C-alpha cells in the first residue's frame, strides 16, 4: 500500500510555488498526497477569483487532494500581513482538532510565515508520524529584514518558536549551504545530522526555447516584484546606461507583486520609462517563451545579509532555460554564477557596476552569450536535477 504524504503549507496551487510540482511528482511516483493549505492570495494579497470561505475549499488537482482552511489575505499593508501570518496557524489549530485525515508522514514547504509549521508539527506529534521540513525562508532573519525591528522583545519569542518547530521535525532541508548553517544555530548540536542541504529544482517545462528575433538588447526579469527583490536598482542602472550613450538596451519585467507600484515610481523618478516594458503576471509555463525574447536574465536582491545566504528558485529557472545571467547579488547566488561561468555579478546596490556589466554583456558576441547559457544549462543538470533531488527525498519518505 502506498504511503500517504500530508503536505501542510500556507501556499499551494493555484499559487505558484515549487511544492506544487513536487506534490504532482509524488503522485506520479505512487504516493497518496493530500495538501492542507490556505485560501490562495499570493502575491497580490487578494483571494483569487473563484475561491473563498464557501467556494473551492476542497478540490483535486492532478491527483492531489487539496483542503483549504480559512485565512486572512495579506492585503497591501503590514497590519493585514501580520493578520495573514497569524490566521493560518490559528485556524490550523482547530483543523487539527477535528480532521479525520490519516497520513503516514507530514511534509512542510516553508515560505514565510514560519509559524505555519506549527500546524504540521502538531499533527505529526498527535498522530506519531515523521515530520519533514523544507526551509525556503529563514526565521527570525526574515522577520528582522521585513520589519526592521531587532528588539529582543520581538525576536526572542520567534527564536523560541523556531527552536520548537525544528525540534519537532524528523529531518530539515535548507536551500543553500548557508541556510543549513543558519538552521543549525537553532538545533541542538547532537541533532545537526538531521539538517542537510537540498537546492530547489526547476520544473520540467523550464527548458531552452528557440531564440525570438527582437530589436536591441533585452534584459528580462521574471518573478515576484517584492521588497526582497530590490528591483529599484534597475531604473538607476538604466539611467547610467543612458548617460553612457548606449541606446539599444531595454528591460522587460514579467510578474507582479506587492512592490510593483513603488518600483514603477522609481522608474518615473529616474525618467527611464521608455526603456521599460511590463508584461504582467503570466503562467509559469509561459516564462521560457518570454525568456527566449531576452538576451540576458536578471536577478537582484535588497541589501540585507539574509540574501547572501539565499539561492533563489529563479536562478534555477533561468539556468534550465540556458539564459546568461546578470545579477546584483552576493554570497550563494554570486558563488553559483561564478562556479557555473554563466554570467556576471555586481554588488547589491551598486547601480553603476550593474550598468557597466549590462553594457559589457551587450558588447559580447552572440557566441560568448550562447556559451554562458550552455554553461548555465550544464550546471543546472549537474547540481539542480529534478530527478536526482526527488530521488534523494524518496530515501527519506519511503
Provide the residue-wise pLDDT of the chain in tens; the chain has 398 residues.
689 999 999 999 999 999 999 999 999 999 999 999 999 999 889 999 999 998 999 999 999 999 999 999 999 888 899 999 999 999 999 999 999 999 999 999 999 999 999 999 999 999 999 999 999 999 999 888 877 888 999 899 999 999 999 999 999 999 999 999 999 999 999 999 999 999 999 999 999 999 998 989 999 999 998 888 989 999 999 999 999 999 999 999 999 988 899 999 999 999 999 999 999 889 999 999 999 999 999 999 888 888 889 898 999 999 999 999 999 999 999 999 999 999 999 999 999 999 999 999 999 999 999 999 999 999 999 999 999 999 999 999 98
Instruction: List, in sequence order, every residue forming a beta bridge with 278; answer none if it has no partner.
Output: 253
Q: Other C-beta atoms within 10 Å of 150: how many?
A: 10
How far apart are the C-alpha atoms of 260 and 326, rounded to whole Å? 21
CB–CB of 307/325 below 8 Å? no
The reported pLDDT for the residue numbered 303 is 85
C-alpha distance from residue 58 to each of 2, 3, 79, 136, 151 (Å)? 22, 21, 28, 26, 41
The reported pLDDT for the residue numbered 44 is 85
CATH number corresponding to 217-383: 3.40.50.2000
The reported pLDDT for the residue numbered 147 is 79
Same fold, 4-198 and 217-383: yes
- Phi, psi at residue 327, to the nearest 5°? -135, 150
Strand order in the sheet with 32-37: 58-61, 64-68, 32-37, 4-8, 105-110, 131-135, 171-174, 195-197
Find out whether the peptide bond into 14 is cis, omega within 30 degrees of 0.
Answer: yes
Q: Which residue has the cell 521560457?
A: 288
**Buried b vs exposed e over 191-201: b needs ≥16 C-beta within 10 Å?**
eeebbeebbbb
The three cell numbers locating residue 45? 494579497
The three cell numbers locating residue 305? 545579509
The three cell numbers locating residue 57? 475549499
How far apart are the C-alpha atoms of 337 and 200, rounded to whole Å? 15
The reported pLDDT for the residue numbered 1 is 63
- Among 149, 79, 136, 62, smallest CA distance to 314 is for 136
Burial class (CB in 10 A: 0-12, 13-18, 19+), 350: middle
- Among 73, 78, 69, 98, smallest CA distance to 9 is for 69
In the chain, domain spans? 4-198, 217-383
**H-type helices in the chain, by residue range?**
18-28, 78-98, 117-127, 141-147, 152-167, 177-184, 233-243, 260-270, 287-291, 313-320, 332-340, 351-362, 366-383, 386-397
CATH number corresponding to 4-198: 3.40.50.2000
The reported pLDDT for the residue numbered 77 is 84
Residues contacting 388, CB < 8 A, separation 6+: none
How far apart are the C-alpha atoms of 346 and 334, rounded to whole Å? 8
How far apart are the C-alpha atoms of 101 and 117, rounded to whole Å? 17
The reported pLDDT for the residue numbered 105 is 98
How far apart are the C-alpha atoms of 66 and 6, rounded to whole Å? 10
The reported pLDDT for the residue numbered 146 is 77
Amino acid at each position: 500500500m502506498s504511503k500517504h504524504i500530508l503536505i501542510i503549507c500556507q501556499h499551494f496551487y493555484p499559487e505558484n510555488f515549487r511544492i506544487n510540482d513536487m506534490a504532482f511528482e509524488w503522485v506520479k511516483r505512487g504516493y497518496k498526497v493530500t495538501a492542507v493549505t490556505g485560501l490562495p492570495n499570493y502575491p497580490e494579497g487578494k483571494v483569487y477569483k473563484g475561491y473563498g470561505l464557501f467556494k473551492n475549499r476542497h478540490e483535486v488537482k492532478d491527483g492531489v487532494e487539496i483542503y483549504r482552511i480559512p485565512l486572512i489575505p495579506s492585503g497591501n499593508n503590514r497590519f493585514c500581513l501580520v493578520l495573514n501570518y497569524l490566521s493560518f496557524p490559528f485556524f490550523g489549530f482547530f483543523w487539527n482538532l477535528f480532521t479525520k485525515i490519516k497520513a503516514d508522514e507530514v511534509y512542510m514547504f516553508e515560505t514565510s510565515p514560519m509559524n505555519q509549521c506549527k500546524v504540521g508539527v502538531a499533527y505529526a506529534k498527535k498522530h506519531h508520524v515523521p515530520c519533514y521540513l523544507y526551509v525556503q525562508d529563514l526565521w527570525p532573519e526574515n522577520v528582522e529584514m521585513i520589519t526592521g525591528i531587532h528588539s529582543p522583545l520581538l525576536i526572542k519569542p520567534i527564536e523560541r518558536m523556531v527552536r520548537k518547530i525544528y525540534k519537532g521535525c524528523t529531518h530539515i532541508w535548507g536551500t543553500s549551504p548557508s541556510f543549513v548553517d543558519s538552521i543549525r544555530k537553532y538545533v541542538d548540536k547532537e541533532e545537526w545530522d538531521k539538517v542537510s542541504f537540498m537546492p530547489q529544482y526547476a520544473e520540467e517545462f523550464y527548458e531552452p526555447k528557440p531564440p525570438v528575433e527582437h530589436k536591441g538588447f533585452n534584459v528580462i526579469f521574471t518573478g515576484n516584484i517584492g521588497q526582497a527583490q530590490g528591483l529599484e536598482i534597475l531604473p538607476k542602472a538604466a539611467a547610467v546606461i543612458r548617460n553612457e550613450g548606449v541606446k539599444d538596451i531595454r528591460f522587460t519585467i514579467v510578474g507582479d507583486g506587492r512592490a510593483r507600484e513603488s518600483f514603477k515610481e522609481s522608474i518615473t523618478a529616474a525618467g527611464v520609462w521608455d526603456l521599460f516594458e511590463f508584461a504582467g503576471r503570466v503562467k509559469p509555463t509561459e516564462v521560457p517563451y518570454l525568456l527566449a525574447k531576452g538576451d540576458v536574465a536578471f536577478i537582484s536582491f535588497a541589501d540585507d545579509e539574509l540574501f547572501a545566504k539565499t539561492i533563489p528558485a529563479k536562478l534555477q529557472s533561468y539556468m534550465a532555460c540556458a539564459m546568461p545571467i546578470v545579477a546584483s547579488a552576493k554570497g550563494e547566488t554570486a558563488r553559483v554564477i561564478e562556479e557555473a561561468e554563466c554570467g556576471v555579478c555586481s554588488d547589491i546596490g551598486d547601480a553603476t557596476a550593474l550598468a557597466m556589466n549590462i553594457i559589457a554583456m551587450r558588447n559580447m558576441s552572440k557566441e560568448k552569450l550562447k556559451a554562458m547559457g550552455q554553461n548555465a544549462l550544464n550546471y543546472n543538470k549537474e547540481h539542480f536535477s529534478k530527478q536526482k533531488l526527488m530521488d534523494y527525498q524518496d530515501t527519506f519518505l519511503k
